[in-house]
Amino acid sequence: MRRLGGWAAVVVCLALVTGLWLRTGTTHPAARVSSAPPLTLLWSRPVAGFRGAALSPQGELVALCSGTKGTITLWHWRTQPDQPLWTHAASNASNVAVGAAGASVLAWSALDPDQPEITILRGADGATLAHQTLSGAVWDADISADGAYAGVVTGGKTLYLYGLSDQPYRDERRDKRIHSWALGGIGNSVAFPTLGSFLVTGTWNDSSVACYTPQGVCLWQYPESAAARHTLADRLFTAQLSGSGRYVLGLSYGNVRQSSPTLYLWRGDGGGNPLWKVELGEDAFYPTVQITQNGSEIAVSYLRQIVRGSQSLSEHHLRLMDRAGNTLWERGDLLFSPTLVALSPDGTHLLVSDGQRTLYALRQDGHILRRYPLPGSLRQTAVSADGRVLLVYTSDGTLSLYGLG
């Protein structure tokens, strides 16, 4: 009789154990599948030359960037599903963001040193309000959910803040709606709470998370000392906020394969001391994190590498944590490979991908509620700020919107 060795034996053992779980009805995510309201297809259309897309905070508008020259279109899928509201040609952008009620659209080309510029378009007609060359490649940009501000961080260690309106901008030195200030490191992320009363940034190479007022006053920074930030020079920080901004969720990881990720939680109005810090381990890579609107739950998915002798395998893990940093549950193995797509605003449901062509809805306790096959492999997903609309672009060239719950 031929014996199985190495990873073949491991996989067989996992299959046998998983089969036992399925029979005995434990809390393994594949153990129970119950009925759930399906994802409701709201809108779908083929897109040639897809580059990027974004939803407005309430999900009623879609900004789309496509084509060889980065043409931008704005769609109101509810009132005008078959024709865009307007088209703006030749932006050379690959990324977009859209503000509340579509009042403003921000376009840029991420991490492109040859296109260190942003374009702000008027939502009503697509007219150009600003086209500005910045201090370096744009690493990240965002529009506050209330539509009051746009923030941009660059490889030139600069944060730009634009007060949004429907009037054209003058140059930076003469227009009081444009502010910029130096960051300690390269800007890796920027985010606003629901109301644009402050913003947070994550940086690299003088790595930190910092909280600023719209006037550029630094409310707090972690680490506080320059010496401590210097010791983290090889790690990148990102930051996001719970809906109101009461909590700031931070993530740091190594520059190679986003390795050894660490999660942090701060009070937005605090002094920069983290409420807790959780390390996912040296064998963890490529993390994705989200926080609920009230900050009650945090979900994180990541890749864990398993080494056996000269061989290695990777498996995806999904973990749900409470506000205190405690692990409520963790799922994932060689047979179920969840990657986080969305966490509902109240934390009662999670949406994950597995195998890139399937979405799974999970209950708060980790049980699978429903499986949703997709027409192609996932290429991009986004969720509206209110958590009600999911944007999905798949490899067959289809852009789709789904209602969540």
Structure confidence by residue, pLDDT tens digits, 186-224: 999 999 988 768 999 999 999 999 999 999 999 999 999
pLDDT tens sequence across 362-398: 999 999 999 999 999 999 999 998 889 999 999 999 9
Task: For residue 14, give Cα distances in angstroms to 42, 94, 144, 284, 365.
Answer: 39, 42, 46, 20, 22
Place of tokens 């759930």: 36
Closest among 99, 69, 100, 102 to 85, alpha carbons compared: 102
- C-alpha–C-alpha distance, residues 328 and 405, integer Å: 23
pLDDT tens sequence across 128-180: 999 999 999 999 999 998 899 999 999 999 999 999 999 999 876 778 899 99
Question: For position 34, what pLDDT does the model report?
Answer: 41
- C-alpha–C-alpha distance, residues 87 and 127, integer Å: 10
Question: For position 171, what pLDDT does the model report?
Answer: 75
Q: Tell whether the model's pLDDT for residue 1 goes beyond 70.
A: no
- Considering 35-44, 322-331, 347-356, the range whose residues carry the highest mean pLDDT is 322-331
Instruction: Give the pair of three-digit tokens for residue 95.
Output: 């990324």
Question: For position 22, what pLDDT does the model report?
Answer: 30
Q: Quote the percentage of the chain above a pLDDT of 70.
A: 90
Question: For position 90, what pLDDT does the model report?
Answer: 72
Q: Tell whether the model's pLDDT for residue 308 goes beyond 60.
A: yes
Question: For position 2, what pLDDT does the model report?
Answer: 34
pLDDT tens sequence across 219-263: 999 999 989 998 888 899 999 999 889 999 999 999 989 999 999
Whether cis (ω within 30° of 0) applies to the bond prior to 223 is: yes
Q: How far is CA 189 from the centre of its chain?
A: 10
Rounded mean pLDDT, 84-98: 92
Q: Tell whether the model's pLDDT for residue 14 goes beyond 70.
A: no
Asked whether the beta carbons of 183 and 136 are under 8 A apart, the reply is no
Rounded mean pLDDT, 86-93: 88
Closest among 281, 368, 294 to 327, alpha carbons compared: 281
What domains sit in the chain, N to C, each tagged with a CATH number?
Answer: 33-147+163-179+393-405 (2.130.10.10)
Asked whether the beta carbons of 325 and 265 are under 8 A apart, the reply is yes
Asked whether the beta carbons of 399 and 393 are under 8 A apart, the reply is yes
Q: Tell whether the model's pLDDT for residue 6 goes beyond 60.
A: no
Rounded mean pLDDT, 313-330: 96
- C-alpha–C-alpha distance, residues 197 and 245, integer Å: 9
- C-alpha–C-alpha distance, residues 59 and 54, integer Å: 9
Question: For position 37, what pLDDT does the model report?
Answer: 55
Each as own residue / partner, the long-range contacts of residues 316-323 (CB below 8 Å, 24 or more positions apart, any chain) are: 316/354, 317/284, 318/350, 318/352, 318/362, 320/350, 320/364, 320/366, 321/263, 321/278, 321/297, 322/296, 322/297, 322/298, 323/247, 323/265, 323/295, 323/296, 323/297, 323/298
- C-alpha–C-alpha distance, residues 140 and 236, integer Å: 13
- What is the DSSP code string of 228-282? HHHHTTTEEEEEEE-TTSSEEEEEEEESSTT-S-EEEEEETTS-S--SEEEE--T
pLDDT confidence bin for 39, thresholds 50/70/90: confident
Question: For position 150, what pLDDT does the model report?
Answer: 96
Question: For position 196, what pLDDT does the model report?
Answer: 66
Rounded mean pLDDT, 103-117: 96
- C-alpha–C-alpha distance, residues 136 and 116, integer Å: 5
Question: For position 36, what pLDDT does the model report?
Answer: 53
Rounded mean pLDDT, 26-50: 69
Task: List Cβ neighbours of 8 (8 Å cut-off, separation of 6 or more).
Answer: none
Instruction: Give the pair of three-digit tokens for residue 251.
Output: 């993530």
Rounded mean pLDDT, 44-68: 96
